[in-house]
C-alpha cells in the first residue's frame, strides 16, 4: 500500500468523527493513521493508501450528514511530513527556522506539504490541534533564503487559514531545546 497519498478529515464533533472514521475504513482499502480528538471538541482523521481508495474514503465522509471543518486528499506527500508529524527533529547549528501557525490541522498539513515540496527545507516539528484550540503549527529549518521561500509557499497554500508566520535567522539554542523537547 502506497503511503504517499493522504486523506484528511476534520469533523466538528467527536461522535461524528468516530462514526466517519469507521465508515471510511469500511468504504475503501486504506490505512488509518490517526483518528483522535483535537481541541474545541473536533475530531481529526488521517488516512493513507492508493489515491483512488483515499478519494473514495474521503468522499464517504463528505457525503455524510455530518458537518466537517475540512476534507482534503493530498498525493505525493513530502516524506518529511510523513515522518515528522508530532516528532521533534534536530536542527543543525546555523540553520534558520520558520514557524507557520494555521487555523486548522488540515490546513497545516497542506501548507507544510507545499512548503517542503517547493524548497530544500526540512520539517523539524509538526504540532496537531491538542492544547491549541484545534490549530496546528509546524517548524521548518534550512538556510535563511530557503526558509523564507518555504514560509511564503505555505502562506500561499491556504492564505486565509494561515494565522501567523515568522522566520528566525539564528534561533537561540535554549529556544530550540524547548521547542524540540530536548533536555539540557
Show the domains of the chain with their CATH numbers.
Answer: 6-74 (3.30.70.1710), 80-180 (3.30.70.1710)
- With H, G, I as helix, E, B as strand and everything else as coil, classify residue 54: helix
pLDDT score at 85: 55
pLDDT score at 79: 79
pLDDT tens-digit readout, 52-78: 999 999 999 999 999 999 899 999 988
Q: Element (H or E) spanning 45, and its range?
A: strand 42-48
Residues 58/102, Cβ–Cβ less than 8 Å: no
Global confidence as pTM: 0.85
Query: 133, exposed or middle or buried, with CB in 10 Å at 0-12, 13-18, 19+?
Result: exposed
Amino acid at each position: 500500500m502506497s503511503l504517499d497519498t493522504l486523506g484528511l478529515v476534520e469533523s466538528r464533533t467527536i461522535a461524528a468523527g468516530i462514526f466517519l472514521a469507521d465508515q471510511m475504513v469500511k468504504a475503501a482499502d486504506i490505512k488509518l493513521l490517526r483518528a483522535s480528538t483535537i481541541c474545541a471538541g473536533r475530531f481529526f482523521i488521517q488516512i493513507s493508501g492508493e489515491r483512488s481508495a483515499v478519494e473514495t474514503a474521503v468522499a464517504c465522509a463528505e457525503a455524510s450528514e455530518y458537518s466537517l471543518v475540512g476534507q482534503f486528499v493530498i498525493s505525493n506527500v513530502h516524506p518529511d511530513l510523513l515522518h515528522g508529524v508530532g516528532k521533534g527533529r534536530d536542527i543543525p547549528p546555523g540553520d534558520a527556522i520558520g514557524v507557520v501557525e494555521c487555523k486548522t490541522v488540515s490546513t497545516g498539513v497542506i501548507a507544510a506539504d507545499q512548503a517542503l515540496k517547493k524548497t530544500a527545507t526540512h520539517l523539524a516539528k509538526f504540532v496537531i490541534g491538542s492544547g491549541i484550540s484545534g490549530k496546528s503549527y509546524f517548524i521548518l529549518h534550512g538556510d535563511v533564503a530557503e526558509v523564507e521561500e518555504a514560509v511564503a509557499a505555505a502562506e500561499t497554500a491556504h492564505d486565509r487559514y494561515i494565522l501567523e508566520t515568522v522566520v528566525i535567522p539564528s534561533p537561540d539554542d535554549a529556544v530550540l531545546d524547548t521547542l524540540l523537547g530536548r533536555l539540557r
